[in-house]
Amino acid sequence: MAESTSTQRLFATDALLPSGWARDVLLAWDANGQLIEVTAGSAMSADVPVAAGPVIPGMPNLHSHAFQRAFAGLTEYRGQEQDSFWSWRALMYQFAARIRPEQLQAIANWLYIEMLEAGYTAVCEFHYVHHDQDGSPYADDAALSLCLLSAARTAGIGLTLLPVLYQTSGFGNTPPMPGQRRFIRSTDSMLRLLEHLRPTCDAQGARLGLAPHSLRAVPPDSLREVLHGLQAQDPTAPVHIHIAEQTGEVDSCLAWSGQRPVEWLLNHAPVDAHWCLVHATHLSPAEIARAAATGAVAGLCPTTEANLGDGIFAMPAWQRAGGHWGLGSDSHACVNAAEELLMLEYSQRLHTGQRNVLATPEQPQVATAMTLAAVAGGAQASARPIAGLAVGQQADLVALDAKHLALAGLNGPDKHSAHVFASHRSSAVQSVWVGGKLQVEQGRHPLHTPAARAFIDVRRQILSGKGCG
Ligand code: NGQ
Ligand code: ZN
């Protein structure tokens, strides 16, 4: 191989490769941040830096509504006799109604820095607040999307931008509610927005996809037309949709069509491996078999789903059916890849009365099995080359701190398990590289302090009603 001076290297005593844990791994990447060598059983050498502990692949975060980070923790009180997803949503809409572009950018910038410090190296932004506070488009219709692109660029996180199509408030063409006016656009205006955003996305290595918000928000004709238009622009673009998160949605879909949401979608849309079915909490056994067979990714958001009382995804059945899955932090009640893994496995334990539910026959270490599955599924849903520590993938790496109290003195796989299951809300993430570029050192992003300050200011402004329309 022609050696270039711009090649960078890292030596890891333990590294989690797609095939499992390997010892003495030499990682090398080129000037584009692409891995060109991943060799186990290598010799240490004085001129190659050594990672501070086990190296794991960066986790893609496959579902984010960035603005909701500034709203996290603010709905944890009983507001009516029985609170629910729907009462939370009413409060969330009041918050969404207030946000201004520069505020969104500050929130997203801090959120993406938090993500990097917590082991996420890429994010899929499911972006639906498009318009000004009165519902009219901004002078540049892409204004808020551009804020997210800029926030991701500043933080140095990989981005898949998913502009959201939102048209109705429920099944059967019910008109949008006033609280949804910032989200609404025609199918044509969505296709124009995508065209407008494409050069900016390409320039920063972001991937552009599309998100029909849900079957509640996008009528059948619009779904067909927008997918047709997307196909013409980019036939491999990722498509994400919220689906079957709440039993109320399943009941309304049955009343409207006689079919369950996932059943309806599979009967009416070309669902395949480019799709991500976000939540997909309430599936019948037949839907599990059919949806898994399409190759689509189930986009699980364990802490948000717990926070909102959604229900428990049928993970053992999904795994038996060969279903792909990945992780999202969605409403950002929690921004920590390890804690999402813990919540997912614990919800399965509570439900099944068993332990190590998500271990597989090939990989008995449950944290390892889950990390590898979530990285593969997350990369697929992101439609970017971020599928772990393998030649040809981007060098998105997380080095854990072998000296962290929870990890010290353990072996590589046990260190990783302790990071996920026994780190007591502290973080063992030491260094994070995105596309080969070091973004977090000693657990800190260089912009941590100013970005946190800007976030706190913006949250205070929004809550005090300054800048409200
Ligand atoms: C959202 N969030 O779009 O932010 C949704 C709530 C809806 C989650 N589903 C709104 N977690 O689904 O109508
Ligand atoms: Zn969502």
User: Residue 349 is part of a domain; what is its CATH number?
Assistant: 3.20.20.140
CA atoms within 13 A on the CB side of 326: 33
* The two structure tokens encoding residue 277: 């079915």
Distance 68 CA to ligand 2 centre (A): 10
Query: Rounded CA gap, 338 and 117, in Å?
Result: 12
> pLDDT band at 253, cuts 50/70/90?
very high
Query: Rounded CA gap, 394 and 237, in Å?
Result: 19
Question: Position 235: which residue type?
Answer: P
Whether 213 is catalytic is no
More confident residue, 326 or 3: 326
- Helix, strand, coil % over all residues of the chain, rounded to 5: 40, 20, 40
Whether 279 is catalytic is yes
> pLDDT band at 417, cuts 50/70/90?
very high
Residue nearest to atom 3 of ligand 1 (CA): 213
Domain end among 382, 415, 435: 382
Residues 373 and 434 placed together within one structural domain of the fold: no
pLDDT tens profile 428-455: 999 999 999 999 999 999 999 999 999 9
Residues 129 and 14 placed together within one structural domain of the fold: no
> In this predicted structure, what is the pLDDT of residue 317?
98
| Ligand (nearest to CA of 90) | 1
pTM: 0.98
Residues 252 and 104 placed together within one structural domain of the fold: yes
Residue 281 sits at φ, ψ, to 5 deg, of: -70, -40
* Best of 125, 245, 281 for a ligand 1 pocket test (most atoms within 8 Å of beta carbon): 245
Candidates 344, 256, 259; CA nearest to 306 is 344
Domain end among 336, 356, 382: 382
Nearest ligand 1 atom, CA 245: 9
Residues 32 and 126 placed together within one structural domain of the fold: no
> In this predicted structure, what is the pLDDT of residue 424?
83
Residue 437 resides in a domain: yes
Residues 242 and 355 placed together within one structural domain of the fold: yes
Query: Rounded CA gap, 24 and 392, in Å?
Result: 20
CATH of the domain at 20: 2.30.40.10
* Of 65, 130, 242, 279, catalytic: 279
Distance 399 CA to ligand 1 centre (A): 33
Instruction: Please list the alpha-helical segments (H only) found in 156-298.
Output: 187-203, 220-233, 247-257, 261-268, 285-293
Least-confidence region, from 1-15, 16-30, 349-363, 434-448? 1-15
Is the per-residue pLDDT at 467 higher than 60? no
> In this predicted structure, what is the pLDDT of residue 5?
72
> pLDDT band at 468, cuts 50/70/90?
very low
Instruction: Give how many domains the chain has, as a whole number.
Output: 2
Residues 30 and 168 placed together within one structural domain of the fold: no
> In this predicted structure, what is the pLDDT of residue 4?
63
Place of tokens 């100013």: 450
Residue 44: C-alpha distances to residues 34, 41, 54, 113 (Å): 22, 9, 15, 32
> pLDDT band at 466, cuts 50/70/90?
low
Residue 2 resides in a domain: no
Using a pLDDT cut of 70, give the percent of the chain over it.
Answer: 98
Q: Is residue 344 within 8 Å of residue 358, measured between CB atoms?
A: yes
Nearest ligand 1 atom, CA 214: 12
pLDDT tens profile 119-166: 999 999 999 999 999 999 999 999 999 999 999 999 999 999 999 999
Residues 231 and 131 placed together within one structural domain of the fold: yes
Residue 455 resides in a domain: no
Using a pLDDT cut of 90, give the percent of the chain over it.
Answer: 97
Residue 375 resides in a domain: yes
The mean pLDDT of the chain is 97
What is the average per-residue pLDDT within 67-87?
A: 96
Residues 40 and 150 placed together within one structural domain of the fold: no
More confident residue, 425 or 369: 369
Q: Is residue 308 within 8 Å of residue 43, measured between CB atoms?
A: no
Residues 15 and 107 placed together within one structural domain of the fold: no
Is the per-residue pLDDT at 104 higher than 70? yes
Distance 27 CA to ligand 2 centre (A): 35
Residue nearest to atom 4 of ligand 1 (CA): 65
Residue 454 resides in a domain: no
Residues 17 and 122 placed together within one structural domain of the fold: no
pLDDT tens profile 23-39: 999 999 999 999 999 99
Q: What is the DSSP secondary structure assignment for residue 422, as one 8-state letter?
A: S
Residues 310 and 406 placed together within one structural domain of the fold: no
> In this predicted structure, what is the pLDDT of residue 3?
55
Query: Rounded CA gap, 303 and 309, in Å?
Result: 10
Distance 23 CA to ligand 1 centre (A): 43
Query: What distance lies between CA 263 and its chain's CA centroid?
Result: 24
Beta bridge partners of 158: 122
pLDDT tens profile 156-202: 999 999 999 999 999 999 999 999 999 999 999 999 999 999 999 99
Residue 119 sits at φ, ψ, to 5 deg, of: 95, 5
Nearest ligand 1 atom, CA 304: 11
What is the average per-residue pLDDT within 206-211?
A: 98
What is the average per-residue pLDDT within 336-357?
A: 98
Domain end among 348, 382, 416: 382
Environment class of residue 322 by beta-carbon count within 10 Å: exposed (0-12), middle (13-18) or buried (19+)? exposed
Domain containing 35 equals 8-57+395-443
Residues 97 and 53 placed together within one structural domain of the fold: no
Residue 450 resides in a domain: no
* The two structure tokens encoding residue 223: 């779904």
Q: Is residue 24 within 8 Å of residue 69, measured between CB atoms?
A: no
> In this predicted structure, what is the pLDDT of residue 434?
98
| Strand ranges of the sheet holding 297-300, from the earlier edge strand across to the other edge | 239-243, 275-279, 297-300, 324-327
Residue 352 resides in a domain: yes
Residue 372 resides in a domain: yes
Which residues form ligand 1's pocket by a CB distance below 6 Å? Answer: 65, 89, 214, 242, 245, 304, 308, 330-331
